[in-house]
Amino acid sequence: MDMAGKTDGFGVNTRLAHIGNDPRDFHGFVNPPVVHASTVLFPDARTMATRGQKYTYGTRGTPTTDALATAIDHLEGSAGTIVVPSGLAAVTVPLLGFVAAGDHVLITDSVYRPTRHFADTMLKRLGVEVEYYDPLVGAGLAALMKPNTRVVFTESPGSNTFEIQDIPAIAKAAHAGGAVVMMDNTWATPLYLRPLDHGVDISIHAATKYPAGHSDVLLGTVSANAACWPKLSEAFNTLGCCAGPDDVYQVLRGLRTMGVRLAHHQQSALDIARWLEGQNGVARVLHPALESFPGHALWKRDFSGASGIFSVVLAGGGEKQAHAFLDALQIFGLGYSWGGYESLAVPVFLGDRVIAKGPYEGPVMRLQIGLEDVKDLKADISRGLSAAAAA
């Protein structure tokens, strides 16, 4: 049965099990080879002169990177995908590819912090005008567009505070002004949101998170529609920002189980978020799938699921209470990143925000809900809440 190219009518877990590579291309082995490559040989001078074969050099793709890129194209509905060494590179490569000195970019204020750092340092140094906008701006983005606005950068839900953006309205306003719309879609993965179906031109993922799934690999993917693919591909080839084959393979491996892992993350996180809403010491829970969350209706309209990361706002207190909460946790690790099998907690810093900075009633804690048993995780969070109350 040839599943590799014909999976469109199937359910998501069936597709995840079969997209990307065709086992018949490599003697029937289920998985593709991990091709370690710089040099690719040409059979003769003419083929070399015309680059007349599929693979020409390691930086430009291998059967391993092609398998992952093809799988992501299936999931995103994109014309082409590049695979880069980190999620941050998946942000910086398309931005570098699409802007030039004198251009203006609009970036959501609840963007992943290192994206802001890149924009505020390197983009500005290259002569790009960087402006942050309210993640809830919606169609109001039209008023912020300038004749030189080249890129509108979105991330929904927003990092740490989970604001849901009205992506179709933003995309419409951006396109009316001639800008390209990029979206960091890491939270939803292509299983819970396909940005290109909602007007986005370029979908960005830290594959480090759910696709890799085990806190041991860094990788990024960037997927473009047909109009933007040539420019994205050109930027990738120009920058030489290619990923290592073992990491690419690990992410393809992770994709096979991403559907079942995500379903578990989703269920546990929502259970814990609902429970947290009723706990003493909690002011509110920032989780888009909660009916109480301000962006809930938009989330329901556009997304088909929620992943396993959200934030909880403590009812008052400051750094002392935040540290007491974090230090009392025994299962939740204190560490950055998310999407792995284990639970993590981090204090949220909003000091660099210019618009989407609250107010919040107390410290904001981001929780990544792993694959552990919910009862154990609730007991751990209870320990944290008690410690915060006693601090």
Ligand X SMILES: Cc1ncc(COP(=O)(O)O)c(C=O)c1O
Query: Is residue 299 within the footprint of ligand X (CB under 6 A)?
Result: no
Piece of 24-32, 86-94, 128-136, 314-322 that binds ligand X (CB under 6 A): 86-94
Q: Per CB under 6 A, does 72 bind ligand X?
A: no
Q: In 3-state terms, what secondary structure has residue 43?
A: coil
Asked if 119 is part of the footprint of ligand X (rule: CB under 6 A), the reply reads: no
Using alpha carbons only, what angle is made at residue 252 by residues 247 and 254, rounded to the nearest 5 degrees?
90
Contact flag: residue 161 with ligand X (CB under 6 A): no
Residues 89-118 that bind ligand X (CB under 6 A): 112
Taking CB under 6 A as the binding criterion, the range among 84-92, 195-203, 227-235, 258-266 that sits at the site for ligand X is 84-92
CA–CA dist 277, 385 (Å, integer) = 12
Q: Which residue is nearest to ligand X (CB)?
A: 87
For ligand X, the binding residue among 21, 70, 86, 92 (CB under 6 A) is 86
Residue 281 in contact with residue 385, Cβ under 8 Å? yes
| Among the listed residues 365, 354, 390, the one whose alpha carbon sits nearest the alpha carbon of residue 273 | 365
Binding mask 213-232 for ligand X (x = CB under 6 A): -----x-x------------
What is the rounded CA–CA span in Å between residue 185 and residue 222?
10
In the Cβ-directed half-sphere of 79, how many Cα atoms lie within 13 Å? 13
Residue 337 interacting with ligand X (CB under 6 A)? yes
Residues 168-197 touching ligand X, rule: CB under 6 A, are: 184, 186
Q: According to CB under 6 A, which one of 20, 32, 61, 87 is a site residue for ligand X? A: 87
Q: Does 163 bind ligand X (CB under 6 A)?
A: no
Residue 187 or 229 with smaller CB distance to ligand X: 187
Q: What is the largest CA-CA distance in the chain?
A: 76
Please report how the helices 374-390 and 319-328 are oriented relative to each other, as an axis angle in degrees rounded to 10. Answer: 140
208 binds ligand X (CB under 6 A): yes
Q: Which is nearer to ligand X, 309 or 329 (CB)?
A: 309
- Distance, in Å, from the CA atom of 120 to the CA atom of 21, rounded to the nearest integer, reads 40
Which residue's entry shows tokens 């552990």? Answer: 372
CA 288 to chain centre: 16
Cβ 85 vs Cβ 244: under 8 Å: yes
Distance in Å, CB of 250 to ligand X, minimum = 13
| CB of 251 or CB of 387, closer to ligand X | 251
Distance CA 132, CA 155 (A): 12
* Nearer Cβ to ligand X (86/161): 86
Provide the binding-site residues for ligand X, judged by CB under 6 A.
86-88, 112, 159, 184, 186, 206, 208, 218, 220, 337
